[in-house]
């Protein structure tokens, strides 16, 4: 069974509330040796995330002789408020002038449920351009946090476990396809498939099945086939 976010998330997460001051945020980041903190609202729900990047805007817009934030052109300020995922956030300039978590945090927080798959979490991070996801329950209360490092834990799966999973997956498939025999071996997460099949498409299907299993780094398909029923990419049904 594939791992869920709840299986890999980090618990016992340090947090701040919206009223926490800038220096206290910095102190917590340093003491807990983390790069970001979930921000909780008055009801205990996650309302945002404050990261080192959010805090460093104060240095970005400050010079030794002038404590006033530099005023960027209006179009640039608007563009700065759009995150990679399309979320409207405070501009870097606004954050530079902030003094509390509510002022500098990125909002709204991009969160995920503990029952979501690790693959879903990775896609959500990519879509929104974030490095971590607060994990919340149905009521929005914090359960933990899932970072990119946490998601990589799935690749620590033992080769023996991966081999057993691949054998189960392809075994069920080959038993239903006449003339197909396949076996798998695994080394450092790389799956090698051997055997034979009547059609090339069957061998390709087994490769995709193995590649989709948790912990698989890549698949080396050495299954031989007799009939090439896979059309070259430059041939379409219209040209036939």
Q: pLDDT (tens digit, 9 = 90+) per residue, 161-198?
A: 999 999 999 988 888 888 899 999 999 999 999 999 99
Instruction: Please tell me whether residues 147 and 180 are part of one structural domain.
Output: no
Contact 48, 109 (CB under 8 A): yes
98 located within any domain: yes
Residue 174 pLDDT: 87
b/e sequence 196-233, b meaning 16+ C-beta within 10 Å = ebebbebbbbbbebbeebbbbeebebebebeeeeeeee
Residues of the chain with pLDDT > 90: what percent?
A: 64
Instruction: Please tell me whether residues 194 and 92 are part of one structural domain.
Output: no
Instruction: Please tell me whether residues 180 and 130 are part of one structural domain.
Output: no
Please say which residue of 128, 154, 180 terminates a domain: 154
- Judged by DSSP in three states, 96 sits in helix
Does 83 score more than 60 pLDDT? no
44 located within any domain: yes
Mean pLDDT (whole number) for 145-155: 92
CATH label of the domain that carries residue 48: 3.10.580.10
Domain residues for the domain of 186 are 157-227
Instruction: Please tell me whether residues 17 and 77 are part of one structural domain.
Output: yes
234 located within any domain: no
Instruction: Please tell me whether residues 52 and 123 are part of one structural domain.
Output: yes
CATH label of the domain that carries residue 165: 3.30.1340
239 located within any domain: no
Residue 64 pLDDT: 47
Instruction: Dump pLDDT digits (tens) for 228-238.
Output: 988 665 555 45
Instruction: Please tell me whether residues 78 and 180 are part of one structural domain.
Output: no
* Cα-based distances in Å from 23 to 27, 56, 92, 103, 106: 6, 12, 18, 13, 17
Considering the chain, what is the average pLDDT of its residues?
84
Instruction: Please tell me whether residues 103 and 199 are part of one structural domain.
Output: no
pTM of the model: 0.66
Instruction: Please tell me whether residues 40 and 150 are part of one structural domain.
Output: yes
Residue 71 pLDDT: 46
Instruction: Please tell me whether residues 139 and 178 are part of one structural domain.
Output: no
Instruction: Please tell me whether residues 79 and 166 are part of one structural domain.
Output: no
Contacts 24+ apart (CB under 8 A), 20-24: 20/100, 20/101, 21/99, 21/100, 22/55, 22/58, 22/98, 22/99, 22/100, 22/104
First and final CA of the chain: distance in angstroms?
Answer: 43
CA distance 219 to 162: 12
Please say which residue of 133, 154, 175 terminates a domain: 154
Instruction: Please tell me whether residues 52 and 167 are part of one structural domain.
Output: no
Q: How many domains in the chain?
A: 2
Instruction: Please tell me whether residues 95 and 140 are part of one structural domain.
Output: yes
């Amino acid at each position: 069974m594939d791992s869920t976010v709840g299986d890999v998330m980090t618990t016992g997460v340090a947090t701040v509330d919206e009223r926490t001051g800038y220096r206290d945020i910095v102190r917590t980041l340093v003491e807990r040796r983390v790069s970001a903190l979930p921000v909780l609202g008055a009801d205990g729900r996650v309302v945002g995330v404050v990261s080192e990047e959010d805090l460093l805007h104060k240095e970005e817009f400050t010079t030794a002789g002038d404590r006033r934030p530099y005023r960027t052109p209006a179009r640039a300020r608007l563009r700065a408020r759009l995150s990679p995922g399309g979320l409207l956030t405070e501009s870097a300039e606004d954050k530079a002038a902030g003094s509390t978590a509510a002022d500098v945090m990125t909002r709204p927080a991009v969160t995920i449920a503990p029952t979501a798959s690790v693959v879903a979490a990775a896609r959500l991070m990519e879509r929104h351009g974030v490095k971590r996801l607060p994990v919340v329950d149905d009521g929005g209360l914090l359960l933990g946090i899932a970072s990119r490092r946490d998601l990589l834990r799935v690749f620590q799966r033992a080769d023996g476990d991966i081999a057993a999973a691949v054998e189960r997956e392809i075994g069920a498939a080959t038993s239903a396809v006449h003339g197909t025999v396949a076996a798998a071996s695994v080394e450092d997460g790389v799956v090698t498939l051997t055997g034979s099949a009547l059609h090339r498409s069957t061998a390709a299907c087994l490769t995709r099945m193995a590649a989709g299993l948790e912990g698989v780094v890549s698949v080396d398909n050495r299954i031989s086939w007799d009939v090439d029923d896979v059309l070259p990419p430059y041939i379409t049904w219209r040209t036939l």
